[in-house]
Amino acid sequence: MKIIIVGCGKVGYTLVEQLNKENHDIVVIDEREDKVRSITEELDAMGIVGNGISYQTLLEADIAHADLLIAVTGSDEQNLLCCVIAKKTGKCKTIARVRNPIYSQETTFLREELGLAMIMNPELASANEIARIFQFPSAMKIDTFTKGRTELMHFRVTEDCLLNGQELMKIRSRLNLNILFCTVKREDEIFIPRGNFVFREGDLVSFVATPPNANAFFKKIGYDNGKVHSVMIVGGGTMSYYLAKRLLSVGINVKLICDDKTRCEELSELLPEATLIFGDMTDQRLLLQEGIETVDGFAALTGLDEENILLSLFVKKVSSAKTVTKINRINFSGVINALPLDSVNYPRLHTADTILKYVRSASKSMGANMENLYSIEDGKAEALEFYIKEDSKVTGKELAKMNIKKNVMVCSILRRNNVIFPGGSETLRVGDYVVIVQAGERLNNINEILED
């Protein structure tokens, strides 16, 4: 596909980086020459210095032959206008990033009236994920599938965890729960574990389960999964607003600290049920004074990665609270993963996953729609959900008799509102929602799970 990306900030860079792996023809546009140069020198993309709203700039980017335009500048309005002009100038599909809460209830209207293929809100998506983590504090990360009926949970094996030193086969029979282990990250390697796989302390494990079974699993392996009743949020940005609103809606008490007095007053009007505090967000004495030692959850959502990391490490030292740390840059993910942080959230990866899902779906449907896509462990593996809309090479045959690739696992099936964790005798049928985890290569359609 020929793809134009307007906006060369952190999200724009990540999109080019991820889409390059899919072998697409990419053009980037930004008014900041240094940002354009940074991307074109480091990544395989053509760069144009200019305004993405400009008709002439879009013509220079060859909008007439583009398949997709993605607008991710810092302005919601500029992103929307850019998509409108692109639709008038060319025949491409358009995607806009829109973050302002004022538009959050109007996305369907804007998408339909402006003819957009999609509207993305990475801050809202990240806030929803963080809220799920606070409701399931034993997990480091949670991805949802099959309309919320199954979840992909990520957690770390600790020294006293029941899994430590045990074979997968023995763990399955001992737990007697309907769950399926999907991936294990050990140092820099990713495994799709089989029956004789032995878990070790420090392993990052993902598994698929229904929410009730996931809760029972954590209890059986010795993890405290008590519900979070109070959360302290540091940072007064859009994501903090979305998160606080979501937590308050499910009855969780929220205390929010912001160092901008005007913004603090705005949030106090928008979130009347929350406790708003104006002060230095990095002041340890303020955190202690406001009860950080007694809260159940803590979210570091300032605009600086370094502040978020240090705040979370401090809270881990003085409190038993579940911590979530927002990271904007992913350049040092290896270092960050080595730190004793509970859960790390990368908002721009939500955007990249959403775009990749759309691009792959648009490229090759071949009997199935791609419903969801989540990167696992820095993109070394992926979890994908497909809706099977017609018969194909993967339908009607027992899984055990199909030549499925070694690095691919069929994790779950949603069939007529029933969740199935398939054995070898199960078959895939038209109308199924199928969750697949793969490591090592990329899947555009469900038929690619089979060896050629």
pLDDT at residue 367 in the model? 64
pLDDT at residue 136 in the model? 86
Could you give the 3-state DSSP secondary structure of residue 173? Answer: helix
pLDDT at residue 89 in the model? 87
pLDDT in tens, 228-265: 999 999 999 999 999 999 999 999 999 999 999 999 99
The CA distance from 287 to 293, in Å, is: 8
Does the fold of domain 353-449 match that of domain 230-345?
A: no
What topology does CATH give the domain 230-345?
Rossmann fold (3.40.50)
Q: Domain locations in the chain? A: 2-120, 126-220, 230-345, 353-449
Closest CA to 330 of 357, 309, 305: 305
The CA distance from 37 to 6, in Å, is: 14
- List, for the chain, all residue ranges whose pLDDT scores fall below the cut of 70: 225, 330-334, 363-367
If you compute the radius of gyration of the chain from its CA atoms, what whole number of angstroms results? 23
Q: CB under 8 Å to 188, separation ≥6 — which residues?
A: none
Architecture of the domain whose range is 126-220: 2-Layer Sandwich (3.30)
What topology does CATH give the domain 353-449?
Alpha-Beta Plaits (3.30.70)
Q: CB under 8 Å to 22, separation ≥6 — which residues?
A: 356, 359, 360, 442
pLDDT at residue 178 in the model? 87
pLDDT at residue 175 in the model? 86
Could you give the 3-state DSSP secondary structure of residue 97? Answer: strand
pLDDT at residue 366 in the model? 54
pLDDT at residue 22 in the model? 82
What topology does CATH give the domain 2-120?
Rossmann fold (3.40.50)
